[in-house]
Amino acid sequence: MDQGQAYRRPDRAREDHSAYLCRTVAIAGATVLAGFAAVMSLEGGQPWWIALLRALLLFATTFWLAWGAAQALLGLFAPRRPAPPRAADVSGATCAILVPIYNEDPPETFSRIAAMYQALQAHPEGRCFSFAILSDTRDAARGDEEERWFHYLLDQTGGAGRIFYRRRTSNAGRKAGNIQDFIETSGAAFDHVMILDADSIMAPGTMIEMLRRIEGDPQLGLLQSLPFTVFAHSRFARAMQFTTWMHSPAFARGLAVMQGRTGPFWGHNAIVRTRAFAECCGLPELPGRAPFGGHILSHDYVEAALLARGGWTVRLDEDLTGSFEEGPENVLDHAKRDRRWCQGNLQHVKLLGAQGLRPWSRYVFVQGILSYIAPLFWIGFLLASIAATATVRAPDYFPDENWPFPEFPATPASRTAEIAIGVIGLLVLPKLLVVLDACLRGRARGFGGSLSAVASTLSELLLSALLAPVLLMFQTRSVLQVLFGADGGWPASSRGDGTLDLRTAWQASNWITLWGVAVLCAAAFLAPGLVPWMLPVALPMIAAPMLIAWSSRRSASALFLVPPERDPDGVILARAGILADWLGEAPLHRGPDLPADRAPGMIPPAPHRHHA
């Protein structure tokens, strides 16, 4: 960046016409499909109040599902966006790569930093980057361990003066507060910050390309990459990993063309202009007590909205490859993480009326809220369908006395079956179209070929169908906990082997089994005609402990092959080698004190650049 160039506050970015068109098409399509489903549910001679309730619940549920399908279709068929501007020379730019950690395993986390740091040194632009490890660890013993491993990291990489560590005395604001603390104390030394998670790893070419793009567009405040899951081992994790590699690019591209310059921030694997973040993204504490008050948990969406309000462009570039993260290895870890996301998204209710937000930002908040309360609507629709079938009047098969043949009118049970088929179509069709597109374009080669890609997609759909009722119940419980005032806090993430035995799975999910039995019994007693259509929901609920335990075990199948398993990125291979070496030569003690310039601490601010 030219330090002598006068800074000009960017004008409020105007959304391009293509983004408006894509939004209109997606919203209109989802509304039409949801309305059609709601009208279908009105038939069948049910009491008017149950019919109205079913229609409203089904409209909300179908709109959410149709919205996701529209996003995938836009990703497949929308015109390609123009190439983003990029700077040819970034030698004058500075970027701090922030790695917030909270009770993480030090060698696991620091080996990723070592791999990225060493990979960057092979590029001239690597001198633009520094690393800042921002610890919020509360346990003193773990904090001491982090410091020992930090010194070991410096010894192994020679990164003194380019890799820094600090541990906060207070973790006020959690991750958002951790990053804000860095921006306020040390952000002035850097033009940009690249925010990672403890389990993130990025290829050097991707980091340099992101720096070129944000340097090339003076109105760009935040650039989000598309992270791909790596290092999955269990059946559950490998299925989720496969779907991120196969299907996420299409969904992400659909999201990108709709959101335009008011794009998303997912909290990690993104680069941010420091001045923009400092000016716009100070987060307030929400009024009231947790779970709706206090620190904002899902801070990333809020920060994206605040940047857009400040006139900065927030963009998702789904074409950026080489951006990786790890995912949960079992359903319980997934549900624990999802509980925090649930509370954070529901907190956004208090932000819908915030002054100056873009209309699209408010709509994104609504979508996030709907993504968590939609399961309640679906459960409500199923229960209302049981009630409708139980209270429906006996059909008249001979309404015309002059006509000798019977007529079979639609009933709530038959309509529910038709609607269930439509819902399955909304869930399945986009993924089938994505894998078909991958086969036609040759992308399926990275997944073992077309046959393997199709087989993996079908297997993932089957596993998702089995686990969907279980995950729906966990999500429903999370929503109810928040609504009844339970604060889930910010639990530390679980890493490593996530294998669960049946006893652990039973203790965590026996309540789902009991609900599955109750729902099936209620349907059999009140609405026998619905029983066949309730089985795909009730049976997985009854078998929840077995599904959770089975899906947590290491996968030995050839299914779910993804490109990095055939052709791993160099930084992934480097990290695996570094971690193996480190665990064979662990620093059991700190050893002699290091010189002052090697001691942990943050870079002091540099006022000659700009103030944060």
pLDDT digits (tens, 9 = 90+) for 237-263: 999 999 999 999 999 999 999 999 999
**Closest by Cα among 66, 155, 54 to 110:** 155
What are 528-545's pLDDT values in tens digits? Answer: 877 888 898 999 999 999
How would residue 51 be classed by pLDDT, with cut points 50, 70 and 90? Answer: confident
Q: How confident is the model at residue 15 (pLDDT cuts 50, 70, 90)?
A: low
Q: Which of 300, 111, 100 is nearest to 197 (CA)?
A: 100
Query: How confident is the model at residue 422, as a pLDDT?
Result: 73
Q: Which two tokens stand for residue 81?
A: 């966006």
The span from the CA of 557 to the CA of 215, in Å, is: 44
73 by DSSP, 3-state: which?
Answer: helix
Q: Give residue 28's domain range.
A: 12-85+217-392+413-555
pLDDT of the residue at 37 = 85
Lowest mean pLDDT among 395-409, 437-451, 534-548: 395-409
Calpha distance 541→566 (Å, rounded)? 36
| Strand duo 95-101 + 192-195: pairing | parallel
Is 233 a domain residue? yes
What confidence tens digit (pLDDT) does each residue in 459-488 have?
Answer: 999 999 999 999 999 999 999 999 999 988
Give the strand pairing for 220-224 and 270-273.
antiparallel
- Residue 276: which pLDDT band, with cuts at 50, 70 and 90? very high
Given a cut of 60, whether residue 410 has pLDDT beyond it is no
Q: Given this model, what pLDDT does residue 110 score?
A: 96
Higher per-residue pLDDT: 314 or 49: 314
The residue count of the chain comes to 612
Residue 95 near residue 223 (C-beta atoms within 8 A): no
What is the pLDDT, as a whole number, of residue 397?
44
In 3D, which of 470, 463, 547, 462 has the Cα closest to residue 505? 547
Give residue 3's pLDDT band: very low, low, confident or very high (50, 70, 90): very low
Q: Quote the pLDDT of residue 83.
A: 87
The answer to whether residue 41 scores a pLDDT higher than 60 is: yes
Query: In Å, how far from its chain's centre is CA 20?
Result: 24
Residue 98 lies in a domain: no
Assigned token pair, 164: 């820094």
Average pLDDT of the residues of the chain = 87
Cα 122 to Cα 115, 323, 575: the distances in Å are 12, 18, 15
C-alpha 28/C-alpha 38 separation (Å) is: 15
CA neighbor of 293 nearest in space, from 365, 368, 351, 355: 351
**What confidence score (pLDDT) does residue 415 get?**
61
Q: Calculate mean pLDDT across residues 418-442.
A: 86
**What per-residue confidence (pLDDT) applies to 594?**
39
Q: Is the pLDDT of residue 611 over 70?
A: no
Burial of 588: CB neighbours in 10 Å, binned 0-12, 13-18, 19+: exposed
In tens, the pLDDT along 27-40 reads 999 999 999 888 88
Is the pLDDT higher at 463 or at 14? Answer: 463
On the question of pLDDT at 605 being above 70, the answer is no
How far is the C-alpha of 125 from the C-alpha of 93, rounded, in Å?
9
Give the H/E segment covering residue 324.
strand 323-325
Q: Are 308 and 239 in contact (CB under 8 A)?
A: no
Any domain includes 343 = yes
Q: What is the 3-state secondary structure (H, E, C) of 125-156?
A: HHHHEEEEEEECCCCHHHHHHHHHHHHHHHHH
Residue linked to tokens 């070929």: 449
- Is residue 19 domain-resident? yes
On the question of pLDDT at 447 being above 50, the answer is: yes
**Residue 317 CB contacts under 8 Å (≥ 6 apart), including other chains:** 84, 213, 223, 224, 225, 226, 256
Mean of pLDDT values over 296-325: 95
Averaged over 491-516, what is the pLDDT? 88
**Angle 251-254-260 from CA coordinates, rounded to 5°:** 135
Residue entry with tokens 């209620």: 522
pLDDT one-digit tens code per residue, 67-116: 999 999 999 998 888 889 999 999 999 999 999 999 999 999 999 999 99
Question: Which band of pLDDT confidence, cut at 50, 70 and 90, is reported for residue 165?
Answer: very high
High-pLDDT (> 90) share of the chain, %: 68
Number of structural domains (the chain) is 1
User: What is the 8-class DSSP label of residue 445?
Assistant: G
Encoded tokens for 185: 């104390």
Separation of alpha carbons 258 and 244, rounded Å = 20
Q: Is residue 506 part of a domain?
A: yes
Instruction: Tell whether 381 is covered by a domain.
Output: yes
Q: How far apart are CA 425 and CA 435, in angstroms?
A: 15
Phi, psi for 437 (deg, rounded to 5) = -60, -40
| Contact present, 559 and 459 (Cβ < 8 Å) | yes
For 323, the 3-state DSSP assignment is strand
Give the C-alpha separation, 476 to 468, whole Å. Answer: 12
- Residues 342-367: what's their mean pLDDT? 94
What is the pLDDT at residue 492? 65
**Nearest one of 410, 81, 107, 28 to 254, comparing CA atoms:** 81
Q: How far is CA 328 from CA 25, 199, 333, 549, in A?
A: 34, 11, 6, 14
Residue 13 has pLDDT above 50, yes or no: no
Q: pLDDT category, 610, cuts 50, 70, 90? A: very low
Cis peptide before 291 (omega within 30 of 0): yes
- pLDDT tens digits, 180-228: 999 999 999 999 999 999 999 999 999 999 999 999 999 999 999 999 9
- Residues forming a β-bridge with 272: 193, 222
- pLDDT-based confidence at residue 381 (cuts at 50, 70, 90): confident
The two structure tokens encoding residue 370: 């709907």
Asked whether residue 278 carries a pLDDT value surpassing 50, the answer given is: yes
Bridge partners of residue 133, in order along the sequence? 99, 165
Element (DSSP H or E) covering residue 375: helix 359-391
Q: Which residue has the higher pLDDT, 498 or 543?
A: 543
Give a yes or no: residue 601 inside a domain. Answer: no
pLDDT score recorded for residue 39: 86
- The larger pLDDT score, comparing residue 269 to residue 52, is at 269
Print burial letters for 142-165: b (CB count within 10 Å at least 16), e (below 16).
beebbbbbbbbbbebbebbebbbb
- Secondary structure of 525-556 as H, E, C letters: HHCHHHHHHHHHHHHHHHCHHHHHHHHCCECC
